[in-house]
Structure 1
Amino acid sequence: MTKVIRIGTRDSELAMWQARFVKNIIEHAGYKTEVIPLTSDGDQNLDQPLYEMGITGIFTKTLDIALLNNKIDVAVHSMKDVPTVLPNNISQGAVLHRAASTDILVHKGVDFLEGEGTIATGSLRRKAQWLNKYPRHQVVDLRGNVNTRLQKLEDSEWNGAIFASAGLDRINKKPDNHIVLDWMIPAPAQGAIMVVHRSDDLESQEALSKINHRITEVCTHVERQFLSVLEGGCTAPIGALATNNGDKLNFVGELISLDGKRKARIEKQFPFALAKDAGRICAMKILEDGGAELMEEIKTAMKS
């Protein structure tokens, strides 16, 4: 390949870290690259909760447009932000080895967990799962990049805020005053980085194929398939996690009401080699066992 691969990314500190990480491994595979930062609509509007904006792909749309207009060759995304159906003429090129998938609570002391308290998060999934475990707590909206959210927490009277562990690890901003929420089922593909390209760009496709991590690709495919069949988009309160255990794939998925009072959960194991439809199988089981009615309630509540 003679061309320089132009890597598009959001311009937040975390997104830039991820883009530079992709740059390094593509260059290690023998290619020349440059990073092109862009500002997304999701980064510009910090006053409105994501689920109220009514747009899937709010953090990916700007990069999609730049990609289709040939201003960049590949785009780097936090995979959990990517809609389950990619735009026409855009293809998944690589999924990198997954970092931690867990959520963490950054707190100002944990005594409040046994009583009343206020937690901040911009995620409906985190809000619903938190209220399911701590129904006496209040959950408030929190938007912005990682640094902005950490500062908002410090300046507030909130007891804590929920973050993805991988994001704080990547930019070395994880404070000592945190606990791992190992009971919380993460967003589908949380902790993974996806790189996409124009479908007709065979040179970029070849380069990305050399940095793809197959196990992470399969596990995130199962999680996103589960999300897609449930028709949850990227904002509904749906958690999913697939993990590799030798020749087995372990899956846990959950659909939960907005107030946290009702949930449908499934845990199942599949042969790893036959995991292609595992997400669909688990989602159909959830829907058959009352999840369809719960999903309709969630969609109605989100529209009101």
Structure 2
Amino acid sequence: MSKTIRIGTRDSQLALWQAHTVQDQLEALGFTTEIISVKSTGDLLLDKPLYELGITGIFTKTLDIAMINGTVDIAVHSMKDVPTRLPKGIVQSAVLPRANTQDILVYKDLDFLKSNGTIATGSLRRQAQWLHKYPSHKVVDIRGNVNTRLQKLEDNPWNGAIFAKAGLERIEVLPPNHIDLDWMVPAPAQGAMVVVSMENDAFSTEAVRKLNDSTTDICTYVEREFLQILEGGCTAPIGALAKIEQDNLNFEGILLSLDGKQKLMVKKSIPANEYINFGKLCAQEVLNNGGKELMVEIKKELA
């Protein structure tokens, strides 16, 4: 059997870059593909923070429906946007080699770091970590795709805005006026791209599996398991990063209060081939050290 694999994607510049990357790799293997772009609810509703929309997977829901309806065969996502539980009938087929995992600050000047300032981010994780380090600063919400957020920073009197470095590098809009936030723990699966397919579509699923990068697959599995146990998604300040170095898997995970005043952290290392359930064990350690109570407080504040 042979068919044209229809690749579903959001229509932002970054999402299209990701879809074309998958398209190029599949066509290099001899498959025929077509890109179909759709707008997601997350792109259309820019006036509310993600957590207020009450939907997990807001950036993936439209593509999930398109796959289930048979409009597209596979979908390409920034993996950090994908819920830890996929809809029934949809499976993770490949995780591509990971790009840069770091967050960065795009700034107008850096003098404010020594005094008061205003930072823009739509992420509770980034907000909490920033306020933990700079408690006198103010954080304002910012929404939209990468280009929209860069323009909003330019148009507003904020001192800076926080971005994932990988996204700006991929579409070549990384400005010179940025610094790496090497102290900030990234979102689970930040910098990774994932491709999903329908479980009953053996042709597309097997084709996409040829693109899987095992190292990135293992690391993001651990990070997302940590997130799932903590009940995160877009609704809590949770960060996680796993790295495989010399056959060891090194993991760092955090959970913070919304105001950044409380910070729970876990750091552990195991042999890389023992990764199954490792994220769960790390999450349970955080929960047992005050995380259960903190998650209750976070949910109350966001209700």
Same structural fold, with TM-score higher than 0.5 when normalized by the shorter chain: yes
CA distance in 1, matches of 2:233, 2:143: 19
Task: Give the conservation status (yes or no) of the 8 Å contact 1:125–1:235.
Answer: no
Task: Give the conservation status (yes or no) of the 8 Å contact 1:123–1:235.
Answer: no
The aligned residue for residue 187 of structure 2 is: 187
Once the two structures are overlaid, the 10-residue window that deviates more, 23-32 or 156-165, is 23-32
The residue type equivalent to 1:268 in the other structure is K
CA distance in 2, matches of 1:14, 1:247: 33
Q: What are the equivalent positions in structure 2 for 1:95-110 lying under 5 Å apart? A: 95-110=95-110
The aligned residue for residue 227 of structure 1 is: 227
The aligned residue for residue 214 of structure 1 is: 214
Cα drift, residue 233 of structure 1: 2.1
Residue ranges of structure 1 left out of the alignment (5+ in a row)? none
Residue ranges of structure 2 left out of the alignment (5+ in a row)? none
Q: What are the equivalent positions in structure 2 for 1:145-184 lying under 5 Å apart? A: 145-184=145-184
Cα drift, residue 58 of structure 1: 0.3
Asked if 1:69 corresponds to 2:65, the answer is: no
Distance 1:137 1:293, change over 3 A: same
The aligned residue for residue 289 of structure 2 is: 289
The aligned residue for residue 42 of structure 2 is: 42
Asked if 1:239 corresponds to 2:211, the answer is: no
CA distance in 2, matches of 1:32, 1:279: 37
DSSP-derived class of the 2:277 partner = helix
CA distance in 2, matches of 1:148, 1:235: 23
The aligned residue for residue 277 of structure 1 is: 277
DSSP-derived class of the 1:175 partner = coil
CA distance in 1, matches of 2:209, 2:146: 30
Cα RMSD between the aligned structures?
0.6
The aligned residue for residue 53 of structure 1 is: 53
Cα drift, residue 276 of structure 1: 1.1
CA distance in 2, matches of 1:53, 1:24: 34
Task: Give the conservation status (yes or no) of the 8 Å contact 2:124–2:234.
Answer: no
Cα drift, residue 234 of structure 1: 3.1
Cα drift, residue 181 of structure 1: 0.3
Q: For each residue in 1:230-288, what CA deviation from the matched residue of structure 2 results, as whole angstroms up to 9, or x when unmatched?
A: 11123310000000102100000000000000011000001100011110000000011
CA distance in 2, matches of 1:23, 1:162: 30
Once the two structures are overlaid, the 10-residue window that deviates more, 2-11 or 230-239, is 230-239
The residue type equivalent to 2:223 in the other structure is E
Task: Give the conservation status (yes or no) of the 8 Å contact 1:117–1:137.
Answer: yes
